[in-house]
Copies of this chain bind each other. A is one copy, B any other.
């Protein structure tokens, strides 16, 4: 897909092409291709659910910006930026969203709170999510490179009902984590209790 999107200068002081370059140098080509696919899916969902396309593009392109930082750098960041120190227990899978939003704010100069929250919540979800945050959360789960067993079902739901897609993703991510005995970030349960229970 060729994305034809001209940024307004409202959220970042550079063009989409310049942002893409800033993102590309932060990560492996494999991850960068994933980021481009998340942007593609996020724009598709943003169009469908009437979410600002420029914000969707920026949040998608930056959602994994800090994912390849070293554990040491992330732990330093947590200690020096007023995060709950318990976060240190959780590892990069959790840090790269929550800490990543803070890195994006500082290094890319992005200050729009809705974009930063979408980055922050893209792995764990949250009990309160904007439509933009839901789009990024779901786009990351169903982008066309994903191949896990329920991804086609998730893609179908994503086209029909964004909230239901959030619920489906949250439920199946939890089941996946528990089946492999992986640590669960407590906020993920707030997401589950809000979006999955009684849906």
Q: Which residues of A contact B (CB under 8 A)?
A: 171, 174-175, 178-179, 181-184, 186, 189-190, 192-193, 196-199
Q: A175-B175, A183-B193 are in contact. List 7 more A-B contacts (CB 8 A).
A: A171-B178, A171-B181, A175-B179, A178-B178, A178-B192, A184-B192, A184-B193
Look across to chain B and name the residue whose beta carbon is closest to the beta carbon of A190: B186
* A198 cross-chain contacts in B, Cβ below 8 A: 181
Q: Closest Cβ of chain B: how far from A92's Cβ, in Å?
A: 16
> CA–CA, A174 to B180, complex, Å?
13
Tallying the copies of this chain within the complex gives 2
Quick one: which of B175, B181, B182, B189 contacts A184, CB cutoff 8 A?
Answer: B189
Q: Determine whether the beta carbon of A186 is less than 8 Å from that of B183.
A: no
Contact residues in B for A192 (Cβ distance below 8 Å): 178, 184
Instruction: Let me know if B182 and A197 touch, CB within 8 A.
Output: yes
Residue of B nearest to A188 (CB): B189
Closest 7 CB pairs of A and B: A183-B197, A189-B189, A184-B189, A186-B189, A181-B196, A174-B178, A183-B193
- Cβ–Cβ < 8 Å partners of A179 in chain B: 175
Residues of B within 8 A of A197 (CB): 181-183
A181 to B174, CA, bound (A): 11
Contacts of A190 in B (CB 8 A): 186
Q: How far is the CA of A184 from the CA of B179 in the complex (A)?
A: 17
**B181 near A199 (CB under 8 angstroms)?**
yes
A178 contacts B181, CB within 8 Å? no
A–B complex contacts, Cβ < 8 Å, 8 sampled: A174-B174, A174-B178, A175-B178, A178-B178, A181-B199, A184-B193, A186-B190, A189-B189
